[in-house]
Structure 1
Amino acid sequence: MADAPAPPAARDQAERLRTADQLGLQLVRFLRLSHHAKQHIMAGAKPAIERSNYALLATLVKLGPLRATALADALRSDPSTVSRQVSALVGQGLVRREPDPEDGRACVLAPTDEGSEVFRANHEHRTRLLAELLDGWSTTDQQALVRLLTRLNTEFENHQGEPA
Structure 2
Amino acid sequence: MVEVITEIYIEAPIAICFDMARDIDIHTKTVWKHTREKAVAGVTKGLIQKGELVTFEATHFGVRQRLTSKISEMVVPSFFVDETQRGAFKSLRHEHLFEKRGKGTLMTDVLRFEAPLGVLGWFAERVILKRYMRKFLEHRNKQLKILAEQPENRLHG
Return the TM-score normalized by structure 1: 0.28
Higher strand share: 2
Of structures 1 and 2, the larger Rg is shown by 1
Pick 1 or 2: higher relative contact order, CA cutoff 8 A, min separation 6.
2
Higher helix share: 1
